Amino acid sequence: MRLGTQIGTDEKYVMTSWRSPTDPSIGSFSAGVDPSNIPQVFVWNGSYPHWRSGPWNGQIFIGIPNMETVYNNGFNFVDDKGGSTYLTFTYANESTITYFSLNSGGTLVQKYWNDGKQDWQVTWSAPRNDCDLYGKCGLFGRCHLSGSPICTCLKGFAPKSLEEWNRGNWTSGCVRKMNLQCDRNNTEGKEDGFLKLTNMKVPDFGVWSNAPEGECGSQCFHNCSCIAYAYYSGIGCMHWTHGLIDIHKFSGHTGATLYLRVAYTELDKKKSMKVFIVIAVILGSTAIAICAYFFWMWIRRKRVVIWPPNMQWEGDFQKNQMFSASEYCYWRLILWQSFEHPSDSYLQKMRLGAKVGTDEKYVMTSWKSPSDPSTGSFSAGVDPLNIAQVFVWNGSDPYWRSGPWNGQFFIGIPNLEKAYNNGFNFVDDKEGSAYLTFTYANESIITYFSLNSEGTLAQMYWNEGKQNWQVRWSAPRNDCEHYGKCGPFGSCYLSNSPICTCLKGFEPKIPEEWNRGNWTSGCVRRLPLQCDRNNTEGKEDGFFKLTNMKVPDFGSWSNAPEGECGSQCFHNCSCIAYAYHAGIGCMQWSHILVDIEKFSNRTGATLYVRVAYSELATKEVTSLLGLAQMDKKKIIPKV
């Protein structure tokens, strides 16, 4: 038999559980292969991962301890030219009768026939313990069954919510204690290194690279987006660029060796892998050194970086009487602009972005405190991957997100087109640079952006009448603007009480936490989709329409025209939501939906979320027939 998918279609080969041990109707759990990038077997609870096998290395799944011993290489993964990717199983000992089952509790079990006892016996099952449960310890957390407690933060990280962590609720995970040198956007301090973790179940969302073993680590080191890597025979080089989740420490000599990027100060000099790079020595003229000295003095003593127009000729110095407390020596704006990289301030015509494929980044970095100009925890910049967005990060953890760029403004910021008069411009040049620039339409207004020590990104402008700087806009301004406030499949609406609700067709994953106002664990699907049932029984899924939304993170762009965007998603069971927005085009989501916000006014986008037929109300439904026909009164089965 097969477990897998036919790429580009809704044809899937999955196992589905019974609703209960005595009720053979379709239950909540399913099991199958996720063929994207590096194949893995999953057990899903609805659409949420419940257990994961780890990557396939050509013979075994490396996240299952001692699998080569138990299964005698009985699995075979097929990726044929017709677009089918699937797993088959032939037990090496043909005299043994064996099969796999998925029970109503979500346990995947291998059974064999014991001829002596005339009974079916269990030879293997998963999940077997708490550490086998997907994401038990949250982001950047590690599970080790022999530990007490079983969850610990990876070295260099600390619990995101210490109160929850101490209560044994580890779902919120961990955050980085010290900024990476990579994130500081300067050359001060020693280079980051990689901490060696042995016998690990590697995290989810690994990306395969064609780098040979000797270059895998170097490739990761020179890409600041790469936060971990591993090399495994039969798979090759794996990199991770986002949050590390579902990490398990094995007791035996199984699993893989994972290398985690950490700040230099977090490294154990005797045990850690050190990475050294050659830094080119740049000789400058005396004039450049003097300019650098004055720039350093200015950074140390004052954080305001914009001047009203009482300035001398280009390059001259002058006494500026704007601040009554004392007199400071500033140089003209044009001289300061020759420094390409912003600090905590972002001026017009400066860049925010990255040079793709290198570690060169243009980011803002916060101060440690209002009076301490050393590098703080927060940074702001552009994530150019797929659809460009601006982020504020707390360490490596997203803190605020702008929503996608539509060519004129970021659609996740209400009324941005009015506030900024289309002052932003996103450049994606042929040389691999992707960056954002800003030129305010009204040149008589002096304005800039700042990132403070608390992670607030603010636009400031000079009020000539009051002779001081005023805040024009800032983010995050409220709880709903904090990244992922309501967890996966949760929506935040500031006018509601409570502000977090599950999307229609979903319910709180942990009701007890949800009722206490802790929404980070999010929501799970109430009813399995027809897509997930792998049969033709029941009516087709539909899409629930949500208006004025900040669309979720991790959207993928598709070249489908507006009339085919929904149809393309409908015919692909991996697609769980879609949206179309002028200037961006068709956006589709295939994993969890996170960081969703409902706006009060007519801004944002219209988001369509795939739900089971029974979750749809006839007046609220958008349904699909064939390629893209819509009927607002009923769901019409696909033909």
Assigned domain for 134 exists: no
* Lowest mean pLDDT across 438-447, 463-472, 584-593, 594-603: 438-447
**Do residues 443 and 353 share a domain?**
yes
pLDDT tops 50 at residue 401: yes
Task: Please give the pLDDT value at position 307.
Answer: 40
pLDDT digits (tens, 9 = 90+) for 20-56: 999 999 999 999 988 667 889 999 998 889 999 999 8
* Lowest mean pLDDT across 380-389, 514-523, 620-629: 620-629
**Do residues 514 and 460 share a domain?**
no
pLDDT digits (tens, 9 = 90+) for 531-567: 877 666 778 899 999 999 999 998 988 889 998 999 9
- Give me the amino acid identity at 407: G
Looking at per-residue pLDDT, the higher value among 5 and 465 belongs to 465
pLDDT tops 90 at residue 320: no
Helix (H, G, I), strand (E, B) or coil at 298: helix
Q: Global pTM? A: 0.52
**Do residues 331 and 456 share a domain?**
yes
- The answer to whether the beta carbons of residues 560 and 602 sit under 8 Å apart is no
Pick from 75, 66, 70: which is nearest to 39 by CA? 75
* 240: enclosing H helix or E strand: strand 236-240
pLDDT digits (tens, 9 = 90+) for 70-121: 445 467 777 765 667 778 877 656 777 888 999 999 999 988 888 888 889 8
**Do residues 491 and 608 share a domain?**
yes
Assigned domain for 60 exists: yes
**Do residues 33 and 168 share a domain?**
no
**Do residues 406 and 511 share a domain?**
no
**Do residues 86 and 147 share a domain?**
no
In terms of residue numbers, what domain contains 469?
286-477
Task: Please give the pLDDT value at position 433.
Answer: 76
Assigned domain for 290 exists: yes
**What's the chain's average pLDDT?**
79
pLDDT tops 90 at residue 135: yes
From 214, 235, 266, the end of a domain falls on: 266
Assigned domain for 272 exists: no
Tell me the pLDDT band of 359, cut-offs 50, 70 and 90: low
Task: Please give the pLDDT value at position 352.
Answer: 85
Looking at per-residue pLDDT, the higher value among 606 and 627 belongs to 606
Task: Please give the pLDDT value at position 257.
Answer: 95
**Do residues 344 and 460 share a domain?**
yes
pLDDT tops 60 at residue 322: no
Task: Please give the pLDDT value at position 304.
Answer: 42
Q: What's the number of domains the chain is made of?
A: 4
Per residue, the 3-state secondary structure of 319-373, as one string, reads EECCCCCCCEEEECHHHHCCCCCCCCEECCCCCEEEECCCCCEECEEEEEECCEE
* 428: enclosing H helix or E strand: strand 424-428
**Do residues 596 and 502 share a domain?**
yes
Task: Please give the pLDDT value at position 321.
Answer: 37
Assigned domain for 37 exists: yes
From 199, 233, 266, the end of a domain falls on: 266
Assigned domain for 631 exists: no
Q: Rounded CA gap, 623 and 621, in Å?
A: 6
pLDDT tops 50 at residue 187: yes
**Do residues 403 and 488 share a domain?**
no
Tell me the pLDDT band of 315, cut-offs 50, 70 and 90: very low
Assigned domain for 635 exists: no
**Do residues 524 and 471 share a domain?**
no
Task: Please give the pLDDT value at position 7.
Answer: 58
**Total H helices, total E strands in the chain:** 10, 46
pLDDT tops 60 at residue 340: no
pLDDT tops 70 at residue 238: yes
Residue % of the chain over a pLDDT of 70: 76
pLDDT tops 60 at residue 627: no
**Do residues 311 and 412 share a domain?**
yes
Looking at per-residue pLDDT, the higher value among 593 and 115 belongs to 593
Assigned domain for 209 exists: yes
Q: What average pLDDT does this structure show over 411-421?
A: 68
From 99, 127, 155, the end of a domain falls on: 127
CA atoms within 13 A on the CB side of 531: 22
Task: Please give the pLDDT value at position 115.
Answer: 86
- The answer to whether the beta carbons of residues 200 and 244 sit under 8 Å apart is no
Pick from 348, 341, 335, 417: which is nearest to 380 by CA? 341
